[in-house]
Amino acid sequence: MGDMAVGANSGSPWSGRTVLITGAAGLLGGWIARDLLGSGASVLGLDNAWDGPRATIPPQGVERIDGDIRNTPLLRDLLSGRHVDTVIHLAAQTLVGPAIEDPVDTFSNNIEGSWSVLEACRSMSVRRIVVASSDKAYGDASGRPYREEMPLRPHHPYDTSKAVTDLLAQTYAYTYGLPVAITRCGNLYGGGDLNWSRIIPGTIRSVLQGDAPVIRSDGTFVRDYLYVRDAAAGVLALADAVGDRPEIAGTAFNFAAGVRLPVIDLVRRILTLMGSQFEPVVLGQPLKEIQDQRVSAARARRLLGWRPRATVESGLRETIDWYRSYLKPGA
């Protein structure tokens, strides 16, 4: 499996900056790191799961740091000792199922971890900070588009943990003047996601291994799927902007492709793109998740000039190609 080429770009606003990514072993963190390295930044990747089974493959050039975001002294040492300009806080327990099984662990990782990062940033005067919330923080809007001015009304542990993270970032912006903005992304997908319980990598791997893909739900749950490279571009656009435009501190930005699909339709698109004749196995298990989600990214388009570049088909094709290379025999 080849890695995307990275090289310095002296004309980039990121050239010469040092960026700390928490949760850098995750899908989004890996792609953000690639873009930053290609733009001439130095990247520190903090994670406690670099050697875990779901860790993405980091690009060459990331300085990998094993550590827990709840260790505030460690964070302060990193920020001060390495003259960090930007913090992109992605670290979280991101799986809905484990959050329901062990809410305390999820709350500790996502809520305590977030205030630890924000407090370290406050004490070290970091110039630009982005905190990852989630579209799940809105709760169930009965299919109405999520817009940033809507109240956050979560009901389940993961959703609540992200809503509290979101509110903490707003608190640090408004109370302490911290230059922090918030992302609320749709469902991310792309090459490098090794969490096989997720529908896109799980479906692709099943087909490549000669098995019919399995849908745990009844297949009717509707989501807005966002290609990870478009999400990475959005995070970096927001991080750059919040350092120069104090008026957007404390502001949340949705990032979404604007194309909603039921899970069953998404799986069938993947099967078609892979030339597979399999029919998905639908288990119909009840899930404590929001049935229908729609995300408006109008604010990001208007204030950041961000646009998703990938269509569903082009994003899925690139993703399938990545897994074909990664999972081929001898790879």
End-to-end CA, the chain: 6
pLDDT in tens, 246-287: 999 999 999 999 888 999 999 999 999 999 999 999 998 877
pLDDT at 225 over 50: yes
Q: Is the pTM of this model over 0.85?
A: yes
Return the structure tokens found at 233. Answer: 């571009």
> Which residues belong to the active site?
158
pLDDT in tens, 11-39: 789 999 999 999 999 999 999 999 999 99
pLDDT of residue 3: 47
Closest to 279 (Cα-Cα) out of 230, 207, 195, 330: 207
Angle at 194 between CA 310 and CA 289, to 5 degrees: 75
DSSP state of 118: H
Averaged pLDDT for residues 95-122: 94
Q: 31 by DSSP, 3-state: which?
A: helix
pLDDT at 1 over 50: no
Higher per-residue confidence, 101 vs 259: 101
Domains of the chain from N-terminus onward: 18-188+227-258+296-310 (3.40.50.720)
Residues 6+ apart with CB under 8 A from 324: 208
pLDDT of residue 149: 96
What is the dihedral sign for C-alpha 214, 217, 223, 228?
Answer: negative
pLDDT of residue 330: 54
Return the structure tokens found at 95. Answer: 């799986």
pLDDT at 78 over 70: yes
Q: CA-CA distance, 139 to 125, in Å (whole number)?
A: 33
Return the structure tokens found at 323. Answer: 């897994």
Torsion angles phi and psi, residue 18, rounded to 5: -110, 125
Q: Are 215 and 223 in contact (CB under 8 A)?
A: no
Q: Are 262 and 219 in contact (CB under 8 A)?
A: yes
pLDDT in tens, 168-191: 999 999 999 999 999 999 999 999
Query: With bands split at pLDDT 50, 70 and 90, how would you rate the model's confidence at 291?
Result: confident
